[in-house]
Structure 1
């Protein structure tokens, strides 16, 4: 029996998941020790309960997908609205270096998927589904490319398969990022910056590093809230318009990329053309809230029975992808990015979007920096690379692989 919850009940459930996650991380020491993000902790418990309802009583709970999408778009809009050109310039060489590391990883991830799919007797295109199409691209990219593979290449069930792989990646990305970063910090005896209460207040007031200190109090006003809501509305309208205009084009971008691009365009136009000061603290509050609620609904919506039905060969591919990602992040990302504390936090983010999504990457980094101290470099680089540049690179890689394999 299907039970579809409307918008209000979905929002209530998401809030309960976040409160549960906060309680679990606060009371179960091993969750805190492994730096598991609160939305992931609460969301996995909720997903297991939904699975139990399905197995024992035959109930299948459904949640408002449109609400999940809306909060996802708000989160990516907040990244764009936080990224003025001055910040991008601050990223400099490190941003380009990290982008190169991720570009190589996209090729590795697809190479592993295609090779194992061929060895296991599957269509090589199935290897792409268990590669960057879903693991690095997430549910949005999985849905967009799944329909293309079904329609143009005869891969039956590609969309369902893609959603299952993306679900697996979301779980793994949220579970392994924190522990790996903590292991690197301990193994190499790294230390985060020592932050005094006064420094923490200055960080909040600096309006420079959104998402870095989600637990700090942000002082915002009614006028700033209204202005910020207008900015988000502009980003979402731009995303909707560009998605409609580019529909059917040979090169398409997911809607959330347009939301981020709209944020960058609006922010820098206001900064450098109209000299209008954007209120970063309000963007930070909205962005962090949207991030938490999106992750809660995404994990609530996990259909674990779909993962249970995955074929054996696909489980082998996904398990191999997990091992390869951990090895690549520890041996390549960490070393190339400097073998320091910032590099370890970047590794947590790399695991988040390497197997899951950019919101998972940010949550992973927050779990680390809440314990060990801030990492300005990581919170400057990961949101932009993970949310914007990666999707452009991934689209190019996927089109190349499909053309070659097709």
Structure 2
């Protein structure tokens, strides 16, 4: 047994992110499927650890105590990016898309729990293969997995991350072809009446003072959010993870700042902190998974994810496409919906970019999908997931 301390684990997570980045840039299939670099690097380490253990060479033990810190920091930056003026600009279609994503989270959990009973596994493992890892992606799987494991369910993080990886691949494989099918079947063309594109840009250079202000806002939201989570749990007996509390406190902080101290939030710096936090958090989560624990659940896991894929494709084609207007923009949004509904927002952006690169622009899709997929989705998704976890804990 080799025990790797906290600092060395942190170094390894950064190194594995850099290795993963190099691999994604050089290996076509990883780049095409938009597999995140920390997932590639972390999973590579997990595979090596599996080989070393199974061959009897050595077993590696990692101190991942810093993982929670980076996890909460990432979700806090998501909350700080949630400006109400973005929601207003998207109008009715954004609200419809948002509600549809909330409904999807509910159905994904129903599918996961129902099939877990069919396969004879714990319902919370079904939840981990539901909205947690489908709409939540690797970040959601690693975050909620820790909450589920704290309830005594072993391998929850491993199952969630495995499901998220499968979802990521299926989300990339289905998004473009389904949108192409809708576009060609209905002979759709880009709208001449384009919505003015809103992109939240911040051209201010990174400075020490401004950067420390963003750090102060992030840590303030993290601190208040963790107390809020503990208070809520103590008062209700309902588990509210600290990162969810931090995210909602950050949302309030963001919009108060926009109202009373405009210009204080620097999204360039916030996004930088969020990207770094997410990369380290995911690297640690992936590198620490014990692949030997998931072997016995491979068939149930694949079965649940496959049903999730079939449902979301049918739902996107026959429901979402109609609700969003049965036009070209709706078809492009379908490709994004499949991307983040099964994987992550970068998948959605990659899917839509491929579609518009072939058929023409869709400013409406590029406004609505990132806003909902990046942070609004958690407004519905988080309560649904937390409620489901508490129902079956």
Instruction: Bin the TM-score by the shorter chain.
Output: 0.7 to 0.9
The yes-or-no answer on 1:43 pairing with 2:42 is yes
After superposition, residues 239-278 of structure 1 pair within 5 angstroms as: 239-248=225-234, 249-278=236-265
Is 2:359 aligned against 1:376? no
Q: Is the contact made by 2:142 and 2:282 (CA closer than 8 Å) also made in structure 1?
A: no
> Which deviations, in whole Å up to 9, do the C-alpha atoms of 1:313-355 show, x marking residues without a partner?
5654455445545554565556644633344223211112xxx
| 8 Å contact from structure 1 (residues 239, 255) kept in 2 | yes
Q: Which residue of 1 aligns with 2:5?
A: 5
User: Gapped runs of 5+ residues in structure 2?
Assistant: 192-196
> Which SS does the other structure have where 1:3 is aligned?
strand
SS of the aligned residue for 1:309 comes to helix
RMSD: 3.5
The 1:91–1:20 alpha-carbon spacing in structure 2 relative to 1, beyond 3 Å, is same
Aligned to 1:340, the other structure's residue is in SS state: helix
Separation (CA, whole Å) in 2 of partners of 1:29 and 1:74 = 31
> 1:26 — aligned with what?
25
1:253 CA displacement = 2.0
Q: CA deviation at 1:81?
A: 1.2
Matched, 1:96 2:95: yes
**Where does 1:137-152 land on structure 2 (aligned, <5 Å)?**
138-145=141-148
Q: What's the offset of the Cα at 1:237? A: 1.0
- Equivalent residue, structure 1, for 2:205: 219
The match for 1:152 is none
1:300 matches 2:325: no
After superposition, where does 1:5-404 map in structure 2 within 5 Å?
A: 5-7=5-7, 9-120=8-119, 127-128=126-127, 130-132=129-131, 138-145=141-148, 159-184=153-178, 186-187=180-181, 188=183, 206-207=201-202, 219-248=205-234, 249-310=236-297, 313=300, 316-325=303-312, 327-328=314-315, 332-333=319-320, 336-337=323-324, 339-352=330-343, 361-365=344-348, 367-368=350-351, 375-397=366-388, 402=392
**After alignment, is 113-122 or 242-251 more displaced?**
113-122
| Deviation sequence 1:196-236 (CA, Å, 0-9, x none) | xxxx9x957x23xxxxxxxxx98311221111111111111
Any idea what the Cα deviations from partners look like across 1:374-405, whole Å, max 9, x if unmatched? 93322211122333331113334555x65xxx
Corresponding residue SS for 2:60: strand
State how far apart, in whole Å, the 2-side matches of 1:98 and 1:78 are.
23
Match of 2:194 in 1: none
3-state SS of paired residue (1:88):
helix
Preserved contact between residue 313 and residue 338 of structure 2 (Cα < 8 Å): no
Q: Distance in 1 between matches of 2:226 and 2:150?
A: 20
* Conservation of the 8 A alpha-carbon contact between 1:253 and 1:391: no
Q: Distance in 1 between matches of 2:65 and 2:17?
A: 19
Tell me, in whole angstroms, the C-alpha distance in 2 between the residues paired with 1:17 and 1:226: 27
Contact 2:73 2:277 in 1 (8 A): yes
CA contact (8 A) 2:72 2:222 kept: yes
Q: 1:390 to 1:114 in 2, by over 3 A?
A: closer
| Stretches of structure 1 lacking an aligned partner (at least 5 in a row) | 149-157, 194-199, 208-216, 353-360
Is the contact between residue 225 and residue 246 of structure 2 (CA under 8 Å) also seen in structure 1?
A: yes
3-state secondary structure, aligned to 2:35: coil
CA deviation vs aligned residue, 1:131-162 (integer Å, no higher than 9, x gap): 446665634434435555xxxxxxxxx51153
The 10-residue stretch of structure 1 (291-300 or 57-66) with the greater mean CA deviation from structure 2: 57-66
Tell me, in whole angstroms, the C-alpha distance in 2 between the residues paired with 1:45 and 1:100.
Answer: 37
Alpha-carbon offset, residue 17 of structure 1: 1.9
Partner Cα distance (1:192, 1:37) in 2? 30
Q: 1: distance between equivalents of 2:378 and 2:106?
A: 18
1:91 to 1:160, Cα distance in 2 relative to 1, 3 A: farther
Match of 1:246, SS state, is helix
